[in-house]
Amino acid sequence: MRAIPPKIHILRFVGEQGVVSVDDVTRHLFLPDKLSAVRIALYKLGLAHVKYKDIKHGVWFIDKPELFELINSYFPELPLFQIHIIPVAYYLHSLEINRIRTTLEKSNQISVDEWWSENYIRFLPSSIRSKFCTSQTPDAIFWIKKQDGTRQQFFLEFERTLKFKERYEEIFLSYAGRHDVQKRNVLYICQTQHIREELLNIEAKMAKAGKLEGTGLYFQFVTLASFYKTYSNEQLKNEEGYDENLQVANKTGV
């Protein structure tokens, strides 16, 4: 089996996530002191990049089909990604998803066995994609490996801003009707406590109206700050109170 160069691992991460910052890549590869080397690698790979807000070195993405072919030459089991331009308005959402992913991958609390980003799911063969995503494509699907060797699947949704109430009702019903949604394995990470409370209220009203079997069966609603407090190895300071009973998994199981 041929060795996979570090630059190919970088390319794979960019292909999976869509848009990245240099910091995202260094965190993903566990190379916090290699910022300059990673930036040079991104440049030499020929990735496109643009300045964006105060993000150091801007954001980077793939705009050449041959780079996706290069990824598949090393990882033939992956979907063949295609050029998919993420609107600038979604950059902050995408970059936060990157940080959420790397936080879970690095966490001492859990062991991430597999991660499917939205981009990964988007380009799966339709026969496979239909088994995991019907009317709702999550921000990610990931699997946790337990100590007994079994895996548990989770759906991830990051809510940076609120959608319309009717849209959440559609999404909640879609998840509730899935055979693989159980034991609160749909994780909603909310940018603010206000967003979390709104989603909790929608769930409660749907349960009271008989649209859901009950509350606390399918979903976990947690703030972004609470998520980082629980799973970051740096143990970020809590500014909102961590009484949300956040539970993805731990090394002894859920």
Span 154-191, pLDDT tens digits:
999 999 999 999 999 999 999 999 989 989 999 999 99
- Higher pLDDT pick, 222 / 31: 222
Residue with tokens 């041929």: 2
pLDDT at 32: 74
Query: Per residue in 37-52, pLDDT tens?
Result: 999 999 999 999 999 9
- The 8-class DSSP code of residue 60 comes to E
pLDDT at 241: 41
Mean pLDDT taken over the chain: 89
Q: How far is CA 57 from the centre of its chain?
A: 22
Mean pLDDT over 189-207 rounds to: 98
Q: Is residue 123 within 8 Å of 82, Cβ to Cβ? A: yes
pLDDT at 238: 42
The H-or-E segment that residue 221 falls in is strand 219-223
CA distance 228 to 238: 9
Q: Which tokens go with 74?
A: 């090393």
Report yes or no on whether pTM surpasses 0.75.
Answer: yes
Whole-Å CA distances, 167 to 68, 133, 211: 33, 17, 14
CA distance 65 to 101: 25
CA angle 192, 110, 183 (to 5 degrees): 70
CA distance 28 to 13: 8
Query: Per residue in 110-141, pLDDT tens?
Result: 999 999 999 999 898 887 777 777 667 899 99
CA distance 28 to 16: 12
Mean pLDDT over 234-251 rounds to: 50
Burial (CB < 10 A; 0-12, 13-18, 19+), residue 144, is: buried
Domains of the chain by start residue, with CATH: 1-86 (1.10.10.10), 89-254 (no CATH)
